[in-house]
């Protein structure tokens, strides 16, 4: 039997706030609605469903960072990535009723929630959507997120992942505590559920003491699709063990292929198939009738993104205050400074070009948080995507918008037909659940 043809998978990337990776998004002239208007999310979801996307995804952060210069004024004044966010979980529950096939993914943190929060919310979403839900598992980023939950500091990096591993073990014990056929609901006999098919959970570990079972029947797919986006060695190991979809940001095909090869290798070390997760790399398209028009669109967009907002987001993401350093400072000098935390130096080393200043890095962060910006005609961008995909650099793409909902509307109108023409993208949905869209087994092998 011949191998099924590999097809590009697509996700739309959103934050339910003023800014996504583009810090110009909320003020861009083509953004038509504020982030508080529910119609924005309906328009985005229905556009992506028309474009046969696998899923729409919402990132999340839990507090307003005060990293930059120890304050929040700049973030609030200009609208940083952290300045305001709606909770995406109610939003996707709302979108469940406005869509029929589109997968719906949401970030939730293992550091500040309990397994039962996740299990209850995402099992409910699984029922509401008939199997279209996904959970992006993160460990959160900074002290502000810790403080709003009553902790003086954010937990240390590797310890967060140790907690996350145990969190997943508990969550899966709860998800598995009901057999799929435990709910009987036989009106004639009066039998509601079969207690023999519902098992008690008693988990006592380093981070969690949890007794179960869960208090609802499992959804049609048993548990949400598990997404992850770790980039450190520890984060990648976690993703290799648990994830069914992985987000990544890479500047070049070579960098992306090395990442994908590494994750596939590590999955095997956990006894999983190398292709047990779909690796989606982020891009921000600017589409024009000509390449020159697209480049002008990109440049106009980037001129609206303030470098100091990029520095605010970088400070928030790395939990480190870049405020004391002048924008003219070369980042290689910071990367060599032993007074800076190792993780910050490592990020600067792997991020900057030679001679790049902090201000230039801030401009890149404000424009796209280093998500590659692709400017061209629909055919040109589709050809670039095809080249990445066919080189084994990714299994698909997560599309980050520069303005809303236009970036997605244009993508669906101009790029989707080109990808279909190349034979690399579906022409209709053939499945109902998100796992079916992603071409993954109905029950993931991830959670042993
Ligand atoms: C595309 C993408 C989306 C992400 N979404 C979130 C998010 O919603 N919330 C969050 O706290 N972290 C998010 N992250 C951060 C990752 O979870 C992770 O912490 C980061 O890549 C650093 O890797 P590490 O945790 O292995 O050090 C995202 C990362 C990427 C690349």
Say what the pLDDT of residue 442 is.
87
Say what the pLDDT of residue 218 is.
95
Residue 200 or 317, more confident: 200
- H-state helical runs in 133-232: 143-148, 157-175
- Hey, whose CA ends up nearest to atom 11 of ligand 1? 140
Question: By percentage, how much of the chain surpasses pLDDT 90?
Answer: 86
Confidence of residue 2 (pLDDT cuts 50, 70, 90): low
Residue 359 Cα to ligand 1 midpoint, Å, equals 23
Q: pLDDT (tens digit, 9 = 90+) per residue, 108-155? A: 999 999 999 999 999 999 999 999 999 999 999 888 888 899 998 888
Exposed, middle or buried, 73 (CB in 10 Å: 0-12/13-18/19+)?
Answer: exposed
Residue 138 Cα to ligand 1 midpoint, Å, equals 6
**DSSP character string of 349-391:** HHHPPTT-BHHHHHHHHHHHTTPPEEEE-HHHHHHHHHHHHHT
Say what the pLDDT of residue 444 is.
47
C-alpha torsion 34→57→309→62, nearest 10: 90
The one-character DSSP state at 186 is E
Residue 290 or 342, more confident: 290
- Hey, whose CA ends up nearest to atom 27 of ligand 1? 232
The pTM of this model reads 0.95
Q: Which of 57, 65, 111, 138 to mutate to test the pocket of ligand 1 (most atoms within 8 A of CB)?
A: 138
Residue 251 Cα to ligand 1 midpoint, Å, equals 16
Rounded CA-CA distance 40/325 in Å is 38
- Hey, whose CA ends up nearest to atom 21 of ligand 1? 230
- Hey, whose CA ends up nearest to atom 31 of ligand 1? 248
The response to whether residue 47 sits with its C-beta less than 6 Å from ligand 1 reads no
Q: pLDDT (tens digit, 9 = 90+) per residue, 20-37? A: 999 999 999 999 999 999
Q: Which atom of ligand 1 is nearest to the CA of 249?
A: 31
pLDDT at 448 over 60: no
CATH superfamily of domain region 9-303+369-438: Luciferase-like domain (3.20.20.30)
Confidence of residue 3 (pLDDT cuts 50, 70, 90): low
The response to whether residue 138 sits with its C-beta less than 6 Å from ligand 1 reads yes
Q: pLDDT (tens digit, 9 = 90+) per residue, 337-395? A: 999 999 899 889 888 788 899 999 999 999 999 999 999 999 999 999 999 999 999 99
The response to whether residue 140 sits with its C-beta less than 6 Å from ligand 1 reads yes
For residues 437-448, give the mean pLDDT. Answer: 70
Q: Which atom of ligand 1 is nearest to the CA of 232?
A: 26
The response to whether residue 60 sits with its C-beta less than 6 Å from ligand 1 reads yes
Query: Computed from CA positions of residues 412, 414, 420, 422, in that sequence, does the dihedral angle turn out positive or negative?
Result: negative
Averaged confidence pLDDT in the chain: 94
Rounded CA-CA distance 85/21 in Å is 14
Rounded CA-CA distance 442/434 in Å is 10
Report how far apart, in Å, the C-alpha atoms of 428 and of each of 50, 217, 278, 366, 408 are: 9, 31, 19, 36, 18
Q: Are strands 191-193 and 183-186 parallel, antiparallel or unpaired?
A: antiparallel
Residue 184 Cα to ligand 1 midpoint, Å, equals 41
pLDDT at 249 over 50: yes
The response to whether residue 82 sits with its C-beta less than 6 Å from ligand 1 reads no
For residues 281-307, give the mean pLDDT. Answer: 98
Say what the pLDDT of residue 90 is.
98
Tell me if 359 sits within 8 A of 325, measured CB to CB: no
**DSSP character string of 268-329:** HHTT--TTSSEEEEEEEEEE-SSHHHHHHHHHHHHHTS-HHHHHHHHHHHHT---TTS-TTS
Tell me if 88 sits within 8 A of 60, measured CB to CB: yes
Rounded CA-CA distance 384/258 in Å is 18
Q: Which of 59, 64, 262 to mutate to test the pocket of ligand 1 (most atoms within 8 A of CB)?
A: 59
The response to whether residue 141 sits with its C-beta less than 6 Å from ligand 1 reads yes
Say what the pLDDT of residue 70 is.
78
Q: Residue 112: what are its φ and ψ, rounded to 5°?
A: -115, 0
Task: Count Cα atoms within 13 angstroms, Cβ side, for 353.
Answer: 8
Every domain of the chain and the residues it spans? 9-303+369-438
pLDDT at 89 over 70: yes
For residues 46-50, give the mean pLDDT. Answer: 98
Q: Residue 275: what are its φ and ψ, rounded to 5°?
A: -100, 35
Question: By percentage, how much of the chain surpasses pLDDT 70?
Answer: 98
């Amino acid at each position: 039997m011949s191998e099924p043809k590999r097809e590009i998978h697509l996700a739309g990337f959103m934050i339910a706030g003023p800014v996504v990776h583009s810090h110009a998004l909320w003020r861009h002239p083509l953004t038509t609605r504020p982030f508080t208007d529910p119609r924005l999310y309906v328009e985005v979801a229905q556009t992506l469903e028309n474009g046969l996307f696998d899923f729409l995804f919402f990132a999340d952060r839990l507090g307003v960072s005060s990293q930059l210069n120890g304050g929040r004024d700049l973030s609030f004044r200009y609208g940083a990535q952290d300045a305001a966010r709606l909770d995406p979980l109610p939003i996707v529950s709302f979108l469940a009723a406005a869509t029929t096939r589109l997968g719906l993914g949401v970030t939730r943190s293992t550091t500040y929630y309990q397994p039962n929060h996740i299990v209850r919310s995402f099992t409910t979403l699984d029922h509401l959507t008939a199997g279209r839900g996904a959970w992006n598992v993160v460990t959160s980023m900074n002290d502000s997120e810790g403080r709003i939950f009553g902790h003086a500091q954010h937990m240390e990096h590797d310890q967060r992942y140790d907690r996350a591993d145990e969190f997943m073990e508990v969550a899966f014990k709860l998800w598995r505590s009901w057999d799929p056929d435990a709910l009987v609901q036989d009106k004639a006999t009066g039998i509601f559920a079969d207690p023999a098919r519902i098992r008690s959970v008693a988990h006592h570990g380093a981070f969690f003491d949890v007794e179960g079972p869960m208090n609802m029947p499992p959804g049609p797919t048993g548990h949400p699709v598990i997404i992850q986006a770790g980039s450190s060695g520890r984060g990648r190991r976690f993703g290799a063990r648990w994830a069914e979809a992985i987000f990544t940001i890479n500047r070049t095909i070579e960098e992306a292929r090395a990442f994908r090869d590494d994750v596939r290798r590590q999955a095997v070390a956990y006894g999983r198939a190398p292709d047990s997760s779909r690796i989606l790399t982020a891009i921000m398209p600017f589409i024009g009738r000509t390449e020159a028009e697209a480049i002008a669109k990109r440049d106009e967009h980037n001129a609206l993104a303030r470098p100091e907002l990029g520095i605010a987001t970088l400070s928030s993401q790395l939990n480190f205050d870049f405020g004391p350093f002048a924008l003219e400072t070369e980042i290689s000098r910071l990367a060599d400074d032993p007074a800076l935390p190792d993780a910050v130096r490592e990020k600067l080393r792997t991020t900057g070009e030679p001679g790049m200043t902090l201000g230039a890095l801030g401009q890149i962060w404000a424009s796209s948080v280093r998500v590659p910006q692709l400017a061209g005609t629909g055919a040109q961008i589709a050809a670039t995507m095809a080249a990445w995909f066919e080189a084994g650099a990714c299994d698909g793409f997560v599309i980050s918008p520069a303005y809303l909902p236009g970036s997605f509307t244009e993508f669906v109108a101009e790029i989707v037909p080109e990808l279909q023409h190349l034979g690399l993208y579906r022409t209709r949905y053939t499945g109902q659940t998100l796992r079916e869209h992603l071409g993954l087994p109905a029950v993931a092998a991830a959670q042993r």
